Structure 1
Amino acid sequence: MHGNRKKAVIFGAGNIGRSFIGNIFASNGWRVIFVDANSELVDRLNNRGSYTILIKRNNRGDETVTVSGISALHSSQSGEIIEELCSCSLCATSVGQNALRFVVPQIAEAVKTRAASGQPPLDVIIAENIRNGADFFRGIFIEKGLDGSEAGLVETSIGKMVPTMLREDLAVDPLILHAEEYNTLILDAEGFKNPVPDLPEIKAVKNIAAWVDRKLFIHNLGHAAAAYFGYRKFPERHLIAEIITDNEINTLVRGAMNEAAASLLSEYPEDFTAQTLQEHIEDLLYRFGNLALGDTIFRVGRDLSRKLNRNDRILGAAGLCLKHGLPCNKIMEVFNAALDFRAVDEWGAMYASDTEFLKKTAVFSIDESGSSSLIFSLLGLKDDDLILEQLIKEKLLLRKKDKTGN
């Protein structure tokens, strides 16, 4: 029925799965099958066989993209999913770290079946915002009786910005998505077992770790910095684009990104130059100012327990600076601003876990004694993070003085 048409199975029919990964393959003539746990979404995709993306362009009109040639399976349809995985050209995941543990076993089962029947190995594009995603997959593969080398495990750097859809937009079309114009998928050339797909949107690199860190420590750091500094100065504003044009905020965000760029240049001198990193920062600041995209301060800043973790965008970047003996004062000011973040969604509610997280950090702000172990457990610091711990303590003590006057 579908002849020799290439096929991609994509786990996750959410914002990135549909607006980015699915769109890339479908627009190049591939048949795309989504797998998702949302039965209502699966039914709608199957009934329509297409969906619409509004490309929100900075200071220009919208571009409408219709993605067709798609279908969907519910995540409970294990038999059908494995059958599709055994006959597809590649698969991808875009489900978030918490859901991966349910998805990877299904992929492992298909990898076994393909190997037993003499089929080519399966390449898996890990389109997740996690570090060392291939190791995560490999660990579950080994638990399922594989040795971890039977499939291509392809890590990525996901740089596309996709806002949370508003209720009024979904009321008109529940499948519609908004996304920015940027559409380059950076992935690990070394992870493939088969040839890298020859698609114009794909940029295959040899040292994916460098590009994952660039995304986390420049893009994610800068985006979070804009949210935290923006909320602190303009708590009544809602959009990232509304605050990034403020000279003070722009300077603070740029300063943190520049500190991180210096550490990346020291860590990965063969992958980046000062010029390419600076050009990347300027491009990001321009993209952050895309008013048409409607990206909210709430979306970008929420989930503090994750974003303030030792291995994430802020403390991770600070740690890399310290590793190379470089200053991280401006990055640590992002950490400080994050502790004042109280932005709310369109319903007027804070992100569920942020309320509890901020209650715990408030204890640190007023209690200097004995706080080391609490800081370690809450932020995920390691035993050898003594300098970083001291920097955090200094910020918390300053917060205490500001609040008490002592």
Structure 2
Amino acid sequence: MKTAVQIGAGNIGRGFIGMLLSQAGYKVIFADVQKELVEALSKRRRYSVEVVGESRQSVEVGPVDGVDSNSQALIDALVDAELVTTAVGPNVLKWIAPALVRGIELAVQHGRTEPLNIIACENAVRATSQLKQLVLEQLPIELPSWVAFVDAAVDRIVPPMEKTDDVLAVRVEEFCEWLVEKSAFAGEVPDIPGMTAVDNLEAGVERKLFTLNTGHAVCAWVGQYLGFNTIAEAIADTRVNAVVRAVMGQSGAALIAKHHFDPAAHQAYIDKIIKRFENPYIVDDVARVGRQPIRKLSRGERIASPLSTALSFSLPVDKLLLGAAAAMHFHNDEDPQVAEMHELIKQKGVAEVFAELSGTGQGEVVADIYQHMEQYL
């Protein structure tokens, strides 16, 4: 049986990537730092995923196993795996690179020559390339030709579930999309239903980042500003719905100008995303979706990137800037980035903070919107 190592046994790891790998015939070995998850996976060898769309269905995933991310067991698993995937969050990639380095070294010592493809399935542009750079900085030998780092774009809403006695229980939306860069693979592209190999990954990555990620974040930020607690509640409000549609319309215009997308097809993509936000079975807190505002306002991310692209084509950006202003009003007592952002605003002001984070010249406009939010909603 083929083996895949999925680093990160959280909701995305179990409910999206691990599930698709298992359905493709892989034994999935999950690596995580949470002892409770690892023990449950290694003991039970299976878990269930609740898939919700217009109806609900339960999907059993297995066989699986669990190992500690800091253990020799992970290194040993990497030596024999055909595929390694991650779902840990972009900021955590630096912590898993050392394990990949040791796994590659040990595989070389064992004389391995079979392809090993590594795919970082993170909400960041070219996260696998970032991981590759982290590995190369620490790898004391030349990277073997049979190791490939494959960039990807992933899309599936996997919100936290209500508390349950089953630590492995996970709920996901029916929709999912996993795009991978066809030319980057070592050997043949694995046959994994639900994973699509594409020639132009940048277009797919930016379509998802500029639309789903941008719209989701703005829905959370504007929704919280107007007093809503969940994405479904927020998008049901006519004001929030109008802002989110307008933001995705402006980011979409930038995508159409850059990648020559079909306008009607892209509008259908936007409409589908709105319906995903409206899914009554997905209870997704705005506090979760809007978290890490410093990262999300930074260069290359879901506001600054479509903003820069739109400006380069002299397209309207006022709704994108409204989304940015809402982000700077965001509050979450459990998110260190929120406290840091508000301290920066206190020290420097909204205009300077946004200009520094985004790398754009739009700070003064955002500051004006920030001061007069009610006029723009």
**TM-score with structure 1 length normalisation?**
0.85
Equivalent residue in structure 2 for 1:232, among 225, 230, 233: 225
How much identity, in percent, do the aligned residues show? 29
**Does the 8 A contact of 1:227 with 1:298 survive in 2?**
yes
Report the alpha carbon displacement of residue 17 of structure 1 after superposing the two structures with TM: 0.7
**Does the 8 A contact of 1:114 with 1:120 survive in 2?**
no
- 1:359 corresponds to 2:343: yes
- 1:321 corresponds to 2:310: yes
CA distance in structure 1 between the aligned counterparts of 2:25 and 2:34, rounded to whole angstroms: 26
1:307-363 CA-to-partner distances (Å, cap 9, x unmatched) read 111321112211111122211111111111222223x5xxxx453331331232245
1:307: which partner in 2?
Answer: 296
Q: Which AA in structure 2 matches 1:48?
A: R
2:184: which partner in 1?
Answer: 191
Equivalent residue in structure 2 for 1:395, among 363, 366, 370: 366
**Does the 8 A contact of 2:23 with 2:61 survive in 1?**
yes
2:85: which partner in 1?
Answer: 92
2:208: which partner in 1?
Answer: 215
Q: Which AA in structure 2 matches 1:224?
A: A
> Structure 2 vs 1, CA of residues 174 and 134 (structure 1 numbering), >3 Å: closer, same or farther?
closer
> Structure 2 vs 1, CA of residues 44 and 199 (structure 1 numbering), >3 Å: closer, same or farther?
same
1:73: which partner in 2?
Answer: 67
Give 5+ residue unaligned stretches, structure 1: 382-387
CA distance in structure 1 between the aligned counterparts of 2:223 and 2:78, rounded to whole angstroms: 44
Equivalent residue in structure 2 for 1:297, among 286, 309, 312: 286
CA distance in structure 2 between the aligned counterparts of 1:47 and 1:109, rounded to whole angstroms: 26
Give 5+ residue unaligned stretches, structure 2: none
SS of the aligned residue for 1:110 comes to helix
CA distance in structure 2 between the aligned counterparts of 1:319 and 1:125, rounded to whole angstroms: 27
Report the alpha carbon displacement of residue 19 of structure 1 after superposing the two structures with TM: 0.4
Q: Which AA in structure 2 matches 1:396?
A: A
Report the alpha carbon displacement of residue 43 of structure 1 after superposing the two structures with TM: 0.7
2:197: which partner in 1?
Answer: 204
1:227-269 CA-to-partner distances (Å, cap 9, x unmatched) read 1222222x1x321111212222212111110111111122223
Report the alpha carbon displacement of residue 200 of structure 1 after superposing the two structures with TM: 2.1
- 1:122 corresponds to 2:116: yes
SS of the aligned residue for 1:293 comes to coil
> Structure 2 vs 1, CA of residues 137 and 355 (structure 1 numbering), >3 Å: closer, same or farther?
closer
Aligned residues: 371
> Structure 2 vs 1, CA of residues 230 and 192 (structure 1 numbering), >3 Å: closer, same or farther?
same
CA distance in structure 2 between the aligned counterparts of 1:336 and 1:268, rounded to whole angstroms: 27
1:287: which partner in 2?
Answer: 276
SS of the aligned residue for 2:4 comes to strand
**Does the 8 A contact of 1:111 with 1:121 survive in 2?**
no
Report the alpha carbon displacement of residue 126 of structure 1 after superposing the two structures with TM: 1.3
Q: Which AA in structure 2 matches 1:320?
A: T
